[in-house]
Chains A and B, each alone.
Chain A
Amino acid sequence: MIVPGAPPLLEVRGLTATVAGTAILKGIDLSVRAGEVHAIMGPNGSGKSTFAKVLAGHPAYAVTGGEVRYRAENLLALAPEARARAGVFLAFQYPIEVPGVANSQFLRLAYNTLRTSRGEEELDPLEFDDFVREKLELVGMDPAFLERSVNEGFSGGEKKRNEILQMAILEPKLAILDETDSGLDIDALREVSAGVNKLSNRDNAIVLVTHYQRLLDHIEPDYVHVMEGGQIIKSGDKGLALELETRGYDWVRAEYEARRAA
């Protein structure tokens, strides 16, 4: 929701980044205020996922220019774990498997690390169990998930659901969901989206990175951005997503080039 007078949460100005020497992001500008839901769309290879990873601090990407301010601080100066503790969350497109480590153990470590960084007491396993069960209901997950190894042998849908469970536990200020809809069937998409909607409030913001309009049927964006060649070439409201669905990306590109030529 657009909250009049809400403070800016994320300010991205002229952000450029490379991976292994190749420029991927070529000057991104984006402003996100608390309460808002943004969708970043665009064809394969446009830099959407790279943008998500750069915000979270993936070490494989080198930022070569521009700035990112998060709650008025320089986000790029923080290590990835410090960004997470400050409230930036990335839901992975391909969540990592950790054999032998129980999901509950992993979630508790993540949550307690966050609590410790805020000067709060850690939760013991029993307290955490009570806490996590409420969160499980929120995303419609079976408690049996807690005993399984982190993401190991999970179906695509289960992995994505597990990401949203982590979001529910960590309650980030800025959640970036990288293709959370990919690999989900229609029922799973509906449930995962319902979980995200429940977590969305006037104090946090969500950035959805997606290929498809169908996710936006369930999570309604306030703004839609089209990324192409490492830049945001058009922004609009949710109507833009519907237009992309019917007309594709070519017209946006043509419009952008015409603008540039002029």
Chain B
Amino acid sequence: MSTVLQNLVNQPYKHGFVTEIEADVAPRGLSEDIIRLISSKKNEPQWLLDFRLDAYRRWLSMRPPTWPNVSYPPIDFQDIIYYSAPKSKKKLASMDEVDPELLRTFEKLGVPMNERAALAGVAVDVIFDSVSVATTYKQKLAEVGIVFCSISEAVRDHAELVRQYLGSVVPPGDNFYAALNSAVFTDGSFCYIPKGVKCPMDLSTYFRINTQDSGQFERTLIVAEDGASVSYLEGCTAPKFDTNQLHAAVVELVAHERADIKYSTVQNWYAGDENGKGGIFNFVTKRGLARGAHSKISWTQVETGSAITWKYPSCVLLGDHSIGEFYSVALTNHRQQADTGTKMVHVGRNTRSTIVSKGISAGHSNNSYRGLVKIGPRAEGARNYSQCDSMLIGAECGANTFPYIDVQNASARVEHEASTSKIGEDQLFYFASRGIGAEEAVSMIINGFCKEVFRQLPMEFAVEATKLLSLKLEGSVG
């Protein structure tokens, strides 16, 4: 590989600073006592403590999954901090009272909070380590009956809703990391869109891991009642540490009849250095239940960070005529490893799903798509279309595709297309011979490759994602 190409793919991470802020930190390790501590810190009701303890007991009997195409040393779960919160003296009444240091952090990250939130028309919930710091726009949303707050607040103020839906899509014993999350989740976002309401703005959560050795276990729950619709955005960054941090989130979506939930993620956790030291282990369970007829769940993800990504945003298409979508760009560089994809489980009649996955591998990274399309016996007339494209930059990286197809209904139609391409010397030379330098060439090629996915992102996010990929692969780091 030419040196130009090598320089291009070796750019520094720009969100790697640590914010000096006093934190309320629990002792390392996990036990029933720690869970009780978390629960009491958050003044939780008994049922939630029971939910956590039940999950913890299940987790104790489980083992981390070994089937993903990634390798890492065993994680010492007793060496992780399960609760870390920025210390503040009193309950915050408005954004003006938020610690200025914290606000500066989010300013550096470019999070649209405060005035910028208003300008951008985005309501933001910010999760800093374990605790939700501020939720903007809450008032305005409340006027149309939308609840958008941290999950801790929801537990307090909308207990019945949380109790009804928490764990209904991803049960506590679903998998090792989901069980862990259910036991120790500290915060996250809750969103409830009542019947017939179209959410008037995009809702957004910004996750940041700040403390070294702390895990982040947030829990997001979004419920859209009959005919409701919402577009939800999630962004993430973390400082640079030379140790690994665990991020084990759970996201549950519930769409009732004719409801429509669109969930977009731009993930830029710290990926570790070029030798693979440090970085986030991103072990996340995301699942949407298209419960009502004609409901729709759409996942769009742009995964650029994390040392290891293990993530399969999925759709369970229960309602007849329900629709599931998965649009993904996963970029790996240096020693990053990603095993990501989706599951489309067709249960209802005439359910439809679309999968478009774009994997970009550079450096010594390894990028796998893993996807399941399952057509149940009742899923008369179900249809799936999958397209998995891989792009390799240089000769040291790897790309794999693991499609699983399980069809139990003869009327179903399942299509799978796959391709692999490569940005090599010849492609760059073609651009160069037209006067276009390598940086711009790579950026143009990559953006062309990802176009079908970027098109699915809300405008603002699409711009961010385009810039992010350029940053990851190019020299223009500010």
Contact = CB atoms under 8 A, between A and B. Distances in A.
A105 interface: yes
A109 B440 contact: yes
A81 B435 contact: yes
A79 interface: yes
A85 B429 contact: no
A70 interface: no
A96 interface: yes
A99 B425 contact: no
A92 B433 CA distance: 9
B426 A96 contact: yes
Given A96-B427, A98-B445, A110 B434 contact: yes
A202 interface: no
Task: Label chain B's interface by main secondary structure.
Answer: helix
Nearest to B427: A96
Interface in B404-435: 421, 425-427, 429-435
A92 B435 contact: no
Interface bin, chain B: 20 to 34
Interface string A135-151: 00000000000000100
Nearest to A84: B435
A21 to B, nearest CB: 17
A81 B432 CA distance: 4
Given A81-B437, A84-B435, A90-B433, A99 B444 contact: no
Interface in A45-92: 56-60, 79-81, 83-85, 89-90, 92
Contact of A100 (B425, B431, B437, B447): B447
A132 to B, nearest CB: 14
Nearest to B426: A96
B116 interface: no
Contact of A99 (B426, B433, B434, B449): B449
A184 B386 CA distance: 36
B451 interface: yes
Contact of B421 (A58, A99, A113): A99
B61 interface: no
A105 B432 CA distance: 15
A92 B450 CA distance: 26
Given A59-B2, A106-B444, A98 B427 contact: yes
B436 interface: yes
B329 to A, nearest CB: 12
B421 to A, nearest CB: 7
A80 B448 contact: no
A186 to B, nearest CB: 28
Nearest to B421: A99
A92 B97 CA distance: 63
Nearest to B451: A100
A105 B449 contact: no
A106 B427 CA distance: 13
Q: Which 6 A-B pairs have the closest CB atoms?
A: A100-B448, A101-B448, A80-B432, A84-B435, A110-B434, A96-B430
Given A80-B433, A81-B433, A84-B435, 12 more contacts: A57-B432, A58-B429, A59-B429, A81-B431, A81-B436, A83-B433, A90-B433, A98-B444, A101-B445, A110-B436, A113-B440, A166-B434
8 contacts: A90-B433, A96-B427, A96-B430, A98-B444, A100-B447, A106-B434, A110-B435, A113-B437
